[in-house]
Chains A and B, each alone.
Chain A
């Protein structure tokens, strides 16, 4: 093994092998030769490895603490409640892995088998993988720079013995940085269904989430839809609703309307959610009849998350990615649209979307 130099510019960067920090690195020659800028062979290996995974869903948000892990965990629980489905949850938050705790798996360790790392199982059909399972103490901090985090994510995708899966859900850290670029790159040779974006109602949160949406567009990751979490609080005593995180700019609803994205649902604040997460239990089982549990269930059952209604992949021009969602939305009228307008397939919609997002009229 080799040590990554302190300020490694990244093996794929323009500076690879050329920057001052590359001096003395055993890989300097290799990086300078340009060989490392070629596509990582791991991408093809990951593609082969995950070819037995039917659906891959990323859970993203530009903002931290909005409930990505809570949503990912409950999406996994809800999907796995159908015992005929094989579900896996991968936590790529390297510096703040919360999934082990939320899934009730704190202190579990990963085992090595002939076919790779074995994930930790919550149920027969629900597997979990997180860096939390590789740490020896709850105090362990993972103080890693980008390249090391990327290496870990690669290993999670390539070296974990996932087996045949119906769903792989990937929980991510906040932001638009190494982890996000890596997961998208490493999954680039396989089909990803898309991303579910989580936000809270305030503009302070939405402004970060809009950046995440831009990120998805930049890396051509389809957006399945948006979930508004922490949406109002009903006092358990007097039943009045308070907007603790007020939707001053119209909340996710307005953002989705502006950006033509489906709003999958709104989940209210409920003290029992945080409590269930701390105790590692599924909130959906603890209080199945609460408004928040019902909101979760209706999101999981929404048509956008149903593989049966997922439409065939339509090749799109590079400037637009959100068309997949629009297409999903108006499927019923698409053929009529094409007939009536006499335009080549999808062009009308593509045009509209491009205009909306980039002001280009292609």
Chain B
């Protein structure tokens, strides 16, 4: 593919960043579910978890705390399945004690992320999803600087519907524009909750903010994902939601978002 085979990302076809100015809006959940949806679509997927202070992906994919091995071309990612169709690398793997806090200032994080991004032996991947911490600071700049050598297809922005959240995501959009990252689209997460007892829909975190934000900033609106206790418990238990609940409304929302995304990658 690329002439330089030493480049750990040389056989990675597409790179997508998952960003949000706001914390706790579901970046890691969306990253996990998109990865699972891509895999169901027959793709080889990788996830790079660069949230140093709160890595959640290992738990969400139920991989526990495996030892990370090294090969000649770098750190070997952890595969979640025998077919090696979903690879994961997380800072969580490198910590001895899961409760230990990574109390690092920016420069140290920048150095580790640099290593992280360039030293993982991803092998051949269709899509690499990069899950990031909230904000527009050291981690984000470090990820971009190190991925720039390669190519970044763009970013998916995750928000919840309320204005307090879309306000932070607006700032993230400015970040993308300033750093020259294409915005692939906006996803509204935690959008409405359908009561399992009476089917009444409550907009716990308001409604429609993601779509409005997309209009305001002339970005693509990829879709809404509802609040779904089945999704949160799958994430808690590290089960494959996309396999367990194929008939739920959440499933169709996520699959349609992943299809749109895959199509937009083809046209990049």
Binds B, one of A268-276, A308-316, A326-334: A268-276
Contact A181–B236 (Cβ < 8 Å): no
Contact A242–B196 (Cβ < 8 Å): yes
Binds B, one of A84-92, A207-215, A295-303: A207-215
Contact A177–B103 (Cβ < 8 Å): yes
A123-B188 Cα distance, complex, nearest whole Å: 34
Chain A neighbourhood of B173, CB < 8 A: 139
Write out, one digit per residue, whether chain B residues 184-202 have a CB within 8 A of any chain A CB (1) or not (0).
0000000001011110101
Binds A, one of B21-29, B74-82, B149-157, B249-257: B21-29
B180 at the A interface (CB under 8 A): no
Contact A102–B229 (Cβ < 8 Å): no
Closest-CB distance, B89 to chain A (whole angstroms): 18
| Chain A contact surface mostly | loop
A145-B142 Cα distance, complex, nearest whole Å: 10
A193-B109 Cα distance, complex, nearest whole Å: 30
Give 9 A-B pairs besides A69-B164, A95-B171 with Cβ atoms closer than 8 angstroms.
Answer: A63-B54, A94-B137, A95-B137, A102-B164, A141-B21, A173-B135, A177-B109, A207-B56, A244-B227
Interface residues on A, range: 35 or more
B163 nearest in chain A by CB position? A278
Contact A173–B23 (Cβ < 8 Å): yes
Contact of A233 with B193 at beta-carbon distance under 8 Å, contacts A95-B136, A146-B105, A202-B236 already known: yes
B70 at the A interface (CB under 8 A): no
Write out, one digit per residue, whether chain B residues 146-170 have a CB within 8 A of any chain A CB (1) or not (0).
0000000000000010111101101
State the A residues within 8 Å of B (CB). Answer: 7-10, 13, 15, 62-66, 69, 94-96, 98, 101-102, 138-147, 149, 173-178, 180-181, 200, 202-205, 207-208, 210-215, 218-219, 233, 235-238, 240, 242-246, 248, 269-271, 274-275, 277-278
How many chain B residues have a CB neighbour from A under 8 Å? 65
Contact A146–B138 (Cβ < 8 Å): yes
Contact A244–B101 (Cβ < 8 Å): no
Contact of A143 with B204 at beta-carbon distance under 8 Å, contacts A174-B24, A174-B53, A177-B104 already known: no
Contact A98–B204 (Cβ < 8 Å): no
